[in-house]
Amino acid sequence: MDLQGKRIAVLGAGSSGYAAAALAVSRGALVEAYDSGSADKLAPAVAKFAAFGVTLTCGDAALAPTGPFDLTVISPGIDTAWPIAVAFTAVSSELIGEIEFADRLCDVPVIAITGTNGKTTTTALITAMLNACGLKAIAAGNIGLAYSEVVLSGERYDWIVLEVSSFQLETIVNFAPQIAVWMNFAPDHMDRYATLADYYAAKYRLFENLTASSLVIHQLECDLGALSGEIVTFSAFADGGRFRYGQGSIHDQESGSVFPFSEGTLQGKHNAENVMAALAVASHLGLPREAVAPAINTFQAPPHRCEKVVTRNGVLYLNDSKSTNLHSLESALMGQERPVVLIVGGKNKGLDFSELREVAARTARVAVCIGEIAQDIATAWDGAVPCHLAADLPAAVELASDLAVPGDVVLFSPGTSSFDMFSGYEARGIAFREAVAAPVAPGRV
């Protein structure tokens, strides 16, 4: 894509918008940036864009573009139905997302990973595995580093591993990864989408431009219909798929190989599925088992995702603070192979925990409920799981420790957001770690 002298608008002053603007400038484009946020709030961003010659227009002025533009690049946090997007669509030859924009300027093969849960861990795991096998790979996309920033760096890679969200996939046109990974699907982001079908359709665009030479890796339970390319399925919960789970090991039904999952640092069957996706990539690329196995077994998952905190008095403590929806809670519960003492709850964002009543009954021995939604959870699970209420997270950890017996796992998997008590799931996870590490009160074991 030749950008020399082209007039390009970039919508959004966050990391994706900044990286796209910088990349466009580096290719000779005439770039203007826009964000409808207030000028006071965006003052640091204004200075940051100005440092490489781009004017950032803020507030109501951003809704009155001085087009025409050859191209508008929209950041994933901006809904295409919002007024700013509608205004620029009217004065632009084309409106595309940052993923599409970066991909048009990149010739490195891509592994793209989507799903309601597990994207970040799987993206980081596959990247670490590729690097351990002697290939040069980098993780980008929704995982934190913008795709445009990778392209702008000029570094040569063998593979770019992209975590792609539904928001990012909404605005692709020709984006076609060589390997497409679909981890799972469940309701989420219903504040962005009018219906669950709309959310599904956005994610499903991952497969829109695949060809016969593409590889698709997906969870067996997700019926994705007819897709182009080679198909590899996996499941730690259903009987079927090429990659299956049993007795602590992952079994490749095609090659007959067995991977000793229980020897690694990752915990839970849902993490076994993350490993299955990585093993499918390794098999497709012919990566050596002697390099793949140690890379996976020593991999440390990103924080707050079923992160092992400590084993004390025979009780394993897991920090799954990233669990901000019902599907992530369900995955964490179904993934455990020990009796569970569950710490659950947080902000009341309208989730119906009765949907997990049967799952909780099968997997949790007892639950400690916290946050705004604590009483609602206890009511929804009444008669299925013994539920206790705790005033805050330290009190919940203390109570869960009292209730746990050797062989149990104390699983902190809130199943909802953290904003009733914390600034985000990271702060919530750190608070859990600190509560677990706190000195044991006198008189308690």
**Is 241 found in the same domain as 119?**
yes
pLDDT > 50? residue 445 = no
pLDDT > 80? residue 285 = yes
**Is 150 found in the same domain as 270?**
yes
Mean pLDDT value across residues 188-206:
89
**Is 83 found in the same domain as 68?**
yes
How far lies 281's CA from each of 79, 145, 243, 354, in Å? 32, 22, 12, 37
The whole domain housing 415 covers: 307-437
**Is 140 found in the same domain as 76?**
no
Let me know if residue 445 belongs to a domain: no
pLDDT > 90? residue 167 = yes
pLDDT > 90? residue 350 = no
**Is 263 found in the same domain as 123?**
yes
Residues 6+ apart with CB under 8 A from 168: 76, 97, 98, 99, 141, 142
Share of the chain above pLDDT 90, in %: 89
pLDDT > 60? residue 331 = yes
Q: CATH number, domain at 358?
A: 3.90.190.20
* Angle made by CA atoms 385, 389, 391, in degrees to the nearest 5: 155
Pairwise CA distance, residues 274 & 57, whole Å: 42
Mean pLDDT value across residues 198-220:
97
Pairwise CA distance, residues 413 & 343, whole Å: 6
Number of domains forming the structure of the chain: 3
365 or 189, higher pLDDT: 365
**Is 407 found in the same domain as 311?**
yes
**Is 277 found in the same domain as 385?**
no
Let me know if residue 214 belongs to a domain: yes
Let me know if residue 327 belongs to a domain: yes
Q: CATH number, domain at 187?
A: 3.40.1190.10
**Is 265 found in the same domain as 148?**
yes
